[in-house]
Amino acid sequence: MLDLTLTEIAEALQGELVLTPEAVAAGYTPGTVLNGTVDTDSRLIGAGDLFVAKRGEFDDGHRFVPNAVEAGAALVVVEHPFAAEHGAALAVPQVVVADSVLALGHFATDVVRRVKALGALKIVGITGSNGKTTTKNLLRAVLERVGETVAPRDSFNNEVGAPLTMLKLTPSTRFLVAEMGASGKGEITRLIRMAKPDVGVVLTVGLAHAGEFGGIETTLATKTEMVQDLEPADVAVLNIDDPRVAGMAAKTAASVLWFGLNDKAAVRATEIDATAAGTSFVLHLPDGSSSPVRFAVLGEHHVMNALAAAAAAHTLGVPIATIVEALESVTRAERWRMEVLGGRDGVTVINDAYNASPDSMVAALKTLAQISGPGQRTVAVLGAMSELGEFSVEEHDRLGRLVVRLNIEKLVVVGEGARAIHLAAEHEGSWGGEAVFVETADQAFELVAADTRPNDLILVKSSNSAGLRFLGDRIADAHSTAETNA
């Protein structure tokens, strides 16, 4: 974080600074300067950090103020003076705000404004129904080779995670990569007003979170918020292969840079070859330069994320050699995202169970079928896709039919929310494979572990809420452990 006095921090939070006698005795004054990390998780607080007590759906961060102070917090942000409710004064400053989440946004907006005023900071905003986190990771890998880069950890892309990322800016930060997710209209606009992008990237508009959004048209309107406030000097990086994204070109004042597989894309890939070792392709940039890329991230669909990252980097002046070097250095999209785990007897597990939407499910199943080698059995372990609302049964049904059409040899469906996958596979018609339904991840583990054959290629895929990411780890670990103990 920037060096800021307690007074400046309180003003940025739009709150009231409270210095108890105990805090004054500990040496704090309104002019005390802090520069620690800001977080809402007391377990991540260290000496000199700032703890924001946030009320959640299942818990209240105010309960953990003592833990944060004991861990070394130099300031706590609270919605009521701590001593007033708990009967014990704190020996650290407090800033009392009306709403911790809104205050966090105000704070981030102020810090971004201060760093932006120094003149070097460039901001890239990334949104889309699929691929945000992977594209963010790829772009971070590129930009870190050029200058100090701040980007979210994990999928910190909402009204809490995005500000926490922005608050990591320092005076020497050259690039902020802001992943911007949303579950409803206006949420991306709110994040953009904290940190307006110089480059706005839109990847896809699909059915992810369609239940929350209320339909594809609302999803489209929400994702369009990324480019609507861009200015003529800014750049909108748009997926030319997605008609909904391509239509956003008419709704932005920014210049448009197209990426995709279409020949009209200024940033495009040709000669794509997907294997179990990754995907090779030739990258083409608008200046006429091109280069082969050996991309280790599994799945042909991730080439689009690589193109989006390359397009954003190109607009920021990064040369193609640096872009390619960075892309080739990334070996996985993210933990539990198309993560390849090897095991005994040539068994390979693809653990892609951190998130799932209809589009990403289709892409993962096609990858499973595409990369399997001779004599290698394909096994799909699938759980539910969440937040699809009225589209849920139809989209799960479609996946079951796709499994059959791709001739995946064994299907294990886990949980009631995914039962339609199993029913559709069984009713699709002639198929040489086998479909099994189980209620729990434990049952799935026992079934898969008992039936795994040498050289099996096993995909584990579901939404995060289904909890199958740990199942994928267990399957891989079981075979690795068996090999060690043999």
The per-residue DSSP string of 106-165 comes to HHHHHHHHHHHTTS--EEEEEE-SS-HHHHHHHHHHHHTTTS-EE--STT--STTHHHHH
> Is the confidence at residue 270, as pLDDT, over 50?
yes
What digits encode the pLDDT tens for the residues 422-449? 999 998 866 778 999 999 999 999 999 8
Mean pLDDT of 138-142: 97
Q: What percent of the chain has pLDDT over 70?
A: 93
Residue 360 to residue 356: CA distance in whole angstroms: 6
DSSP state of 97: -
**Residues shown for the chain:** 486
Q: Mind listing the pLDDT tens digit for each residue in 48-107?
A: 999 999 988 778 999 999 999 999 999 999 999 887 555 557 899 999 999 999 999 999
Task: Name the helix (H) or strand (E) containing 381.
Answer: strand 378-382
For residue range 146-176, list pLDDT tens digits in order: 999 999 877 677 889 899 999 999 999 999 9
Predicted confidence at residue 482, as pLDDT, reads 42
Average pLDDT over residues 346-373: 90
Say how far apart CA 359 and CA 370 lie, in whole Å: 16
Q: What is the pLDDT of residues 388-426, one digit of tens each?
A: 888 889 999 999 999 999 999 999 999 999 999 999 999
Is the dihedral angle over the CA atoms 322, 325, 329, 331 positive or is it negative?
A: positive
pLDDT surpasses 90 at 15: yes
What are the respective helix, strand and coil percentages of the chain, to the nearest 5?
40, 20, 35
Taking every pair of Cα atoms in the chain, the longest distance, rounded to a whole number of angstroms, is 79
Encoded tokens for 383: 């759980």
Are the C-beta atoms of 133 and 326 separated by less than 8 Å?
no
Nearest to 434 by CA among 383, 479, 377: 377
Cα→Cα distances 126→198, 203, 224, Å: 11, 8, 12
Mean pLDDT for the stretch of residues 353-364: 88
Indicate the range of 178-182, 331-335, 373-377 predicted with least confidence.
331-335
State the number of CA atoms in the 13 A half-sphere of 395 facing the CB: 25
**Of 84 and 47, the one with more pLDDT:** 47
Residues 270, 290: Cα–Cα separation, whole Å:
10
Q: Is the pLDDT of residue 257 over 80?
A: yes
Which has the minimum average pLDDT: 127-131, 135-139, 234-238, 267-271? Answer: 127-131
- Amino acid 483: pLDDT: 42
Q: Which SS3 state, helix, strand or coil, does residue 35 take?
A: coil
pLDDT in tens, 473-486: 888 887 664 443 33
Strand partners, 126: 179, 201
Task: Report which of 379, 360, 353, 404 is spatially closest to residue 479, judged by C-alpha positions.
Answer: 379
Percent of the chain with pLDDT over 90: 71
**One-letter amino acid of 18:** V
Number of helices (H) and strands (E) in the chain: give both, helices first.
18, 22
Tokens encoding 251: 């709704």
Report helix, strand or coil for 436: strand
Q: Please check whether residue 204 is in contact with residue 238, taking contact to mean a CB–CB distance below 8 angstroms.
A: no
> Residue 484: its pLDDT value, please?
38
Buried b or exposed e, range 361-372, using 16+ CB within 10 angstroms:
bbbbbbbbbebb
Whole-number Å distance between alpha carbons of 186 and 77: 26
Place of tokens 């706590």: 76
What's the pLDDT at 481? Answer: 46
pLDDT at 357 (0 to 100): 86
Residue 331 has pLDDT above 80, yes or no: yes
Residue 123 scores a pLDDT above 80: yes
Instruction: Classify each residue of 147-174 as buried b or exposed e, where b means 16 or more C-beta atoms within 10 Å of its C-beta.
Output: ebbbbbeebbbbbbbbbbbbbbbeeebb
- Single-letter code of the amino acid located at 354: Y
